[in-house]
Structures are given as C-alpha cells and as structure tokens.
Structure 1
Amino acid sequence: MIGRRGAIRLIGGGGLSLGLGACGFEPARPEPVGGRLRVAVAVSSTADTMDPARQTVITDFCRCAMVYDGLTKLDQYFKPQPALAEAIETGDARDWSIRLRKGVRFHDGSPLTVADVLYSLRRHLDPAVGSKAKVFADQFASVRADGPDRVRIVLNSANADLPTILGIAQFQIVRDGTRDFSKPVGTGPMRMIEFQPGIRSLTARYDEYWRGPIRLGECELFAISDDSARINALLSGDVDLINAINPRIARHMRDAGFGLLETKSSGYTDLIMRMDRPPGDNPDFVAGMKLLLDRETMRSAIFRGYATIANDQPIAPSNPYYDPSVPQRPFDPERARFHFKRAGMIGARMPIVTSTAADKSDDMAVLIQDAGQRAGIGFDIRRVPSDGYWTNSWMKVPLGFGNTNPRPTADIIFTQFFASNALWNESAWKNARFDRLLDAARGETDEARRKSLYGEMQHLVHDQAGIGIPLFISSLDAFSPRVKGLRPMPQGGLMGYDFAAHVWLEGK
C-alpha cells in the first residue's frame, strides 16, 4: 500500500478521489426543448452495432453514447469524472473499490445493480463477445461484488489509469445477461426507438435520466458517404448536422451562414505497412516509405491548415507525455531511394489501398505516389468503398491506411495499437522491450519516471513500427444555425460523439 498521501498523488494523475463523487459534471440542465435532430455521418455499414464492447466506427460511438453510460465519463480535459460510479478509490493502483450511484434506472425501469456492472465488465473476457477492449479487461485479475453497492476490481499489476480506461466507450454498462442488442436498453440520455444497421437509427429523450432530461427530443442518425451529397443535404435543410467536412470547403460553409466546429485532436490517418508479409517485413522498405510522407504539403494542401505536423509517434504535442526529443523525420525521396535500393525495390510497383473511411487517405496516397516516382518506386492506388473497409481491407492488405480516433492516455493508445498482443496492432509490429516498458509505465507513480518510460516507447515506435503518422487531424463538423450547444471535445468530432446529450434546436 502506498498510503493516503501517495493515493491522492496517484489518483490526481488520472483517477477519482473519495470526495469527487459529490461533484457534478456540469450546471443544472435547462428545461427540455424537443425537436428532432437529423444527423448525417460519413461512414456506416451493416456491421454497425449497439453492443458497447464491439464499438468500432463513428456510428457505433454516437449511438452507444446516446443509449448507455459508463462508470466514469471523460471530460473536456480527458480526465475521468463520476458517472454510474459515484467514487473510485485505491491505495496502490492495483486494488480498486467502486461505489455505484443510487437511483439509476435502465430504460425499461429496472434499477442499476452490482450484477449489471459485473456482467458488463466480465463479458469483455469472453472471446466469443469480440470485445474491442479485451486487451484492457485482460488486466483484471478479479471483478467481484463488495457489498450491495460496490464492485471491487483487482488488477494483475498496478495501473493508475484504470478510472480513465473505464471511461472509454467499450466499457459502457448493459443489463445483466444481455445478449441481443437489436433492441438495446441502457441507462443513457436517450432510448432507442429504431435501429437498422447500415441504414438509420432513431432515439428519443429518456425523461427519467438520472442526470435529468436532456433538451433534445429525438435524434435520427444515418450515413451519407459521398462528401458532396452530405454537404448538399445540409445546405438544402434535409439534415441539421454533418461530420467529416472537407477542409477545402470550410470557408464556403461559414460564408453560407452555417456553423463550423473545429476539434483539434490527437486523431490521425496513418500509413500502414504490414510487417508480417512482404515487402513490409523488410526494414529498409518501411524506412523508405516513411520518408515519402510530405507532411507540410499534406497539412497545407489537403487539410488547409486544420492539422498539426506529426512524427510517426502516436502521442500528440498536447499530451503531457509527448517526447520532443524524437527527431523529426523529414520528407526525403532521395534518402528513400537509398532504402528502396537496399530492399531490392527500385522499379517495383505495388498497390496502396485507400478509402474515404480513412480520412483523406485518397489524397495522401496521391502525394505518396508522386514522391515514389522520385524515389524509384511505383504505386497503384486502389480506392475501395467505405462500406466494409474496416472489415475487409484494414490490417489485411500489405500497404494501406488506418484512421485512429483520439485516445485519452498514452497507455490506452499504446495498449490498443502497439503492444504485441494488441487487437488493433495495425502493422503487426512486435517488440519485447516495448511490452516491458508498457507494463512498467502502468504502475509507475513517479511522474518523471513514467514520462521517461513513455518517451522511450515513442522512440521505439518512431524508429521501428510499420506505421507512418504524418499529421494529427482536426475534426470538422458543420451544422445548421438552428443547432445550439455544440463545443469541441478532445475525444473527437461531434463533441466526442456525445452531441445528443448536449445540443438543442432553436425554436423547438
């Protein structure tokens, strides 16, 4: 045990203290207004899900945020705040006690119980569930009841970020025994009225919501994958809110009288070179590809300045654990030619797979293709539909793109995308030293030492992993002047996918 003083210091770095449960998220909610908000997003498919554990794409995140709550909720600073848990306590970052909020009811009227939380957390360990958070649940040594309103989680080893981890979308709470998610029931601010995967959903305000009813009456959510069609739907008044605005038309939207929400984030579109197959299994090919990323041109020409230069490390400069000592990788086609020659790739042609599902990967690939001509290598751009991209192409092709939403902590992004056993280890990079550093950083309570560990991990990813991260991309959403209450949240666009709980329609 590290004692009371140590516990407060540790919790201050990412946990909840005993007294925090009495603090509110926000001021008292104004009276409900009503109205139906119509929202069109860029990506959807028949694989859309209302199972929180399986959330992958924006439609999942938005819908699940309407219907479910987590034990904690991340605020505008990526800090965990109490939600279904009133308080979370620990003395050593390994043994955690969670006190549940009283008076919470599911949409069917049943009360929230310890059994619901136990079921929700334990199901991530079942491989048949296909949880996207299993890599975190695997850290649970035990999850058990500790009285009528308490849950006790004991970890295999200390992790000071557990309250933050419990705030990620996949750990939202469902009813005990739920297996059919076609008609989902949660404790969240809206009830599901209709859910047709790949088509649309309709939710309505839950008037008995434990925080108090939200202002919005209904929300209809669907996808329009074509950028021009999505813009035209907003311009014509057919929808009220859209995401994934092309930066090239951002000024036009403002000039036309529509609102524009820029969310500066740590999300990115990355170039993926699979290291478990040729040519990505050749370190010189990987090194050459990273040198073909013209970051400045991508930022100015593709994103019109709505982006921050990145450096093939997934930790953004805004993160307290960002390591500025990682040397900035230049755009250098001539040096890339040297590496391609050593790899025996001069004169070779290979496909590079893109999709609108991976934001602006089409445009990035064109710049890479042009740079490749100077480096002695050719690329055939193969554009595939957004529908099914994440299932059929992502992490399955030798050379392609990913699209990573912001993550609240260094541990979460390293665990989900770079650990050897990570479900989303995009380039199949495996490094035993990195894995050991990740384990050590989780339980480290000395902030200077923890920052040093994360710094070394960033160097390893930058130097060895089969990904290129050229930019951290701002999310751009556009909306009708009738839509009120939108504000940036670091979790991503559309207020970190939680817009429905906060916005309202003027005049309704």
Structure 2
Amino acid sequence: MQNLDRRGFLGLAASTAAALSGSSALAGCAPGGAPAVGRPKRGGRLRAAFSGGGASEVLDPHETSLYIEIARSKALYDKLADYGNDMSPQPRLAERWEPSADLRTWRITLRQATFHDGRPVRSADVLASYARITAPGGSRRAKASLSVIDLPNSRAVDDRTVEFRLERPYAEFPNALATLGAYIVPEGTTDFSRPVGSGPFKFVSFEPGKSFLAARNPDYFDGPPLLDELQIVVTNDESARVNALLGGQIDYANDLTLTSARTYESNGQIRVLRLPRSNFHGLAMKVDRPPFDRIELRQAMFHLIDREELVRSVLQGSGQIGNDLYGRGYRYYAAHLPQRGQDLDRARSLVREAGAEGMTIDFDTSEASTGLKEAALAIRDQAEQVGLDLNVRLGNKDTYWSDISEGSVLASYRSGGMPLDSHISQRLLTTSTTNNTAWRRPEFDELYDAAQSTTDEGERAELYARMQEQQFHDGGFVWWGSSDWIVGAAGNVGGIDEQAPANTLEWARFDGVWLA
C-alpha cells in the first residue's frame, strides 16, 4: 500500500479549488438554471450516454453488473417488484403479494402483462427465471437474495399465481423480488442476441461497447412510452459525456462529477439533476481486534468526526450529513436518535480511556470509489486533534473491497442504496458474507430474526430501531454523510424523477421521459 502525506492532500485540494474557481467564472453568466421543460409529448429518440464495459457487455439481464447494463435491462425487462424512492418494495409485474401466517409461504399474483412477442407473462416464466438465476455454480447478481426461496417446493398455482416456499420466515421477502438482476424472461430462454422481455421498449439493435437501440412497446402494461426510440451509447470519459451533451450529440448523461455539476448547473446550458440519498460514505472499524475492540475508541471516532466539514470538502456540498447509521431517509431508518456533532473534548477523553493516546493506527483507503481517499485524509487531520495518528495507506483500487474484508482494522467505506433489511443481512449478522466490521452479536441476530418473523409492521419497526440503537452506540460503522447521484440532461428533456436515488425504480427509467 502507498502511504499518503499531507503534501499530496494539499496538492489535491488546491487543484480542486482551482477547478471550482474556473467553474464559477463560467457559471456566473446565467443564474437561475435551465428553463422549465414543456408539457409531456409523444415522439422522438432520446440519446443517453453511460460508461460501458467494452466488448464484454451483455444483454442477459441476469448478468447485469454495470450501470449501463442495468439501464438496458430496465428498458427491455421487468421484475416482480422494484425499489421506491425510500427503498420500500413497489409492485411491478407482481400485482400483489400475500404471506402466510408463518411468513414462509408467499403467494404472488401477476399482472396481465405480455412479452414483446405477444406471449403472456406466466408463473412458469417466473419460476424458470429464478431457477436460472440461482442455478448451482453460477454467480449471478440476484442469486444471494433469491436463495431464500425453496424452489423445488415452490409452484405455479395457475398461469398468474406463483406460490413461493421459503427456507425461513422472511417478512421482507418483497425486497428479494426487487433485487438488482431479478428480471423475468420467457421460460426456456438461452439466447439473448435478440432479447425478448416485457419491458417498455423492444429490442432493435446492439453493438457491445458502442450503442443500443430500442423502440416503443405499445402494449406495455404500465402504458406505452412517450418516446419513439431509446438509444443508449457508451461514453466512458465523463468530460466527453458533458461535451456531447453541450454539443447536442446526446440528451442525457449519466454520472457527472461534482466539478462538472458546479460548472454547468447555473449557466443554463444543460440541466443538472442531483438524485439524493444515492451513495453513503463512512468508515469501517473491526470490532473484534485491537484497537477497535475497545468500545471507548470506537465512540471516540464517532465524536471526533466533523461531518459538516466532510460534506463541504469531500462532497463539495452535494449531499447531507449522516448520523453514523446507514440509509438516512429510507424505510425503517431510526430518525429518532439525536444528531451527532463533533465533540473534540469528549473524543479526547475517550481516547485516553481506551489507552490510545498517541497511538498510530493504519487507515486503509483507495481510489476505488469517488471520495474514499479524500475522506480518509480529512479524517486523518481531524483525528490528530484528539491524539490519534491515523496512518493513511492507499490500496489497490481493483482489489480494495476484498483486501479490507479481512486485512484492515480501519478503512474508508462507501455504499450505494439498498433496503435497511439488505444492509443488515449482508453486513451485520454473524453469517453475513460482507461483514467488514466483524460485528457478530447473537442478540443482534435474534432481533433481526424476530423482525423477519412478525407480520406486525409496528413491531418490526421497533425491532429495527433497537438494532440501529446498538449500532449507534456500539457499532463499527461511522456513516458520516450521503451524496447525490448526478446526471445531466438537455433543456428539452422532461419527465426525469429528481428524487429517485440510484438503483431505484425511477432511476434511469425512460418510459416516462419526453422531448419537449
């Protein structure tokens, strides 16, 4: 790993400041932003640009891993459910779901929907799709979430009714139906060169690493799209996406940088849309080994962080502060807990109680995700004020997440959006596969199991609150802030949901978009 010194951080900060200074000069000419988009109208081709994966890109919706692949899958296919803006599951191909009293059997009623070739979407298609995703030996993205299903004992009651038998009680089972990659394809599908789905657009053409074209599906169950055509093109360089948008070669640019957003959002040339609660930023402490096996030192980290400064400097103001819990604004989030602020006196006292004054602690970070490195350097400087020496080490961005899983006591962390249930089950249970804080508490596991075994929504919310209270006082995560997902659009593009976090139903969804 590469150690980072203060000079490197100051150079980075200076270059960022210079870029923003230049952007202010550009943006000052036309305050007030782009003009309002006109009324919805039908017709036209929307050209959307995403980063791509080259020749390895696929149209198999069960193999999606890139944002561009998710956008194409949304255009062509549907899932039984998807996540709403608060990460609660919303019915899609499923018209409704009904659990049994023991929460181990779920009956799903399908909407009247058709595939692009005119065949109805049937229970057999759902079961075949899930069997393909969870097949032994595969590593498809939705496999882990759907593995709770006992498929051999699940059945098609009739063409529009599926009965899922589960391996255990699971009150949040609709979250599994909404997971990324859980798309429904026609039974027996093996060839995706000319894909057939039930989504809002029909396949026209595809060149991996270059371009994808689809046309309106007039028979879409949720109403036909307003657009005639959707074209998704690959532009890996962010500045190239911005220039293409400015030059009129595209109408929508996914994933803009904070600097680009600051440059263009007030000069009226393009519309800059900030989609909130899309990324959560923090750090992970291993609670099972020195020095963070001492609760006093973990609590010192909670109190030494200046969250407001991190949002200003690292996120350039494009986000909101956190309160050391994941998923602010999401369903079941413990909003009742008091907001923490920086308390250096309390942090110093806790450092002394932990016997850690003057201690040097390795702090791992990388450039694997935006802001990881910058946050680590800023937190390192904040920790100096309470007598801690955090030795920031820059790791390999290609192997960072696997490296910190076992080999790090303190690491920069970042997460996209997911339901609170998924965050807990994947990261905080004794059996979790990505337990980067080594949080293993039987009593915590029992609370989670109890939450999944009750049909009482209020009781479940109370159990989630108790789990979060444990994390707030004793956990290994410090979630200091959340940031926006930034997209750009031409001034004539309407219908984009500006409150949809990345990876939710309305993000990168183009069937309700229009060209004024």
Q: Distance in 1 between matches of 2:309 and 2:303?
A: 14
Amino acid at match of 1:472: S
Q: 1:437 aligns with which of 428, 447, 450?
A: 447
TM-score normalised by structure 1 residue count: 0.78
Between 1:245-254 and 1:309-318, the stretch displaced more is 245-254
1:366-377 → structure 2 map (5 Å cutoff): 366-374=377-385, 375-377=387-389
Q: Distance in 1 between matches of 2:388 and 2:91?
A: 55
Q: Distance in 2 between matches of 1:253 and 1:482?
A: 16
Partner of 2:77: 68
Q: Distance in 1 between matches of 2:241 and 2:292?
A: 36
Q: Distance in 2 between matches of 1:334 and 1:490?
A: 38
Amino acid at match of 1:498: A
Q: 2:97 aligns with which of 61, 64, 88?
A: 88
Partner of 2:15: none
Q: Distance in 1 between matches of 2:62 and 2:362?
A: 36
Query: How far 1:108 moved relative to its partner?
Result: 5.2
Partner of 1:14: none
Give me the identity figure in percent. 26
TM-score normalised by structure 2 residue count: 0.77
Query: How far 1:85 moved relative to its partner?
Result: 2.3
Between 1:147-156 and 1:318-327, the stretch displaced more is 318-327
Q: Distance in 1 between matches of 2:345 and 2:206?
A: 52
Between 1:335-344 and 1:80-89, the stretch displaced more is 335-344
Structure 2: gaps of 5 or more residues:
1-38
Checking the alignment, whether the CA contact within 8 Å between 2:75 and 2:510 is kept in structure 1 is yes
Q: 1:427 aligns with which of 428, 434, 437?
A: 437
Query: How far 1:437 moved relative to its partner?
Result: 1.0
Partner of 2:6: none
Q: Distance in 1 between matches of 2:230 and 2:469?
A: 47
Query: How far 1:353 moved relative to its partner?
Result: 2.0
Q: 1:149 aligns with which of 160, 174, 177?
A: 160
1:480 aligns with 2:500: no
1:46-445 → structure 2 map (5 Å cutoff): 50-53=59-62, 55-76=64-85, 78-92=87-101, 93-105=103-115, 107=116, 110-141=119-150, 142-178=153-189, 184-192=195-203, 193-194=205-206, 196=208, 199-211=209-221, 212-216=223-227, 217-224=229-236, 226=238, 228-247=239-258, 250-257=261-268, 258-265=270-277, 267-274=279-286, 286-317=298-329, 319-325=331-337, 328=340, 330=342, 332=344, 335=347, 339=351, 342=354, 346=358, 348=360, 350=362, 352-355=364-367, 357-374=368-385, 375-382=387-394, 388=398, 395=405, 398=408, 399-407=410-418, 409-445=419-455
Amino acid at match of 2:146: A
Query: How far 1:70 moved relative to its partner?
Result: 0.8
Q: Distance in 2 between matches of 1:496 and 1:389?
A: 31
Amino acid at match of 2:148: Q
Q: Distance in 2 between matches of 1:403 and 1:209?
A: 40
Tell me which structure has the larger Cα radius of gyration.
2
Checking the alignment, whether the CA contact within 8 Å between 1:266 and 1:406 is kept in structure 2 is yes
- The 1:348/1:91 distance shift into structure 2, 3 A limit, reads closer
What RMSD, in angstroms, separates the aligned Cα atoms of the two structures? 3.7
Q: Distance in 2 between matches of 1:425 and 1:220?
A: 36
Q: Distance in 2 between matches of 1:153 and 1:425?
A: 28
Query: How far 1:370 moved relative to its partner?
Result: 1.7
Query: How far 1:434 moved relative to its partner?
Result: 1.8
Q: Distance in 2 between matches of 1:85 and 1:358?
A: 35
After superposition, give the CA deviation of every residue in 1:305-336 in whole Å (9 maximum; x if it has no partner).
43222122114156454242367363538826
Checking the alignment, whether the CA contact within 8 Å between 2:426 and 2:435 is kept in structure 1 is yes
Checking the alignment, whether the CA contact within 8 Å between 2:82 and 2:504 is kept in structure 1 is no
Q: Distance in 1 between matches of 2:494 and 2:438?
A: 43
Query: How far 1:367 moved relative to its partner?
Result: 0.7
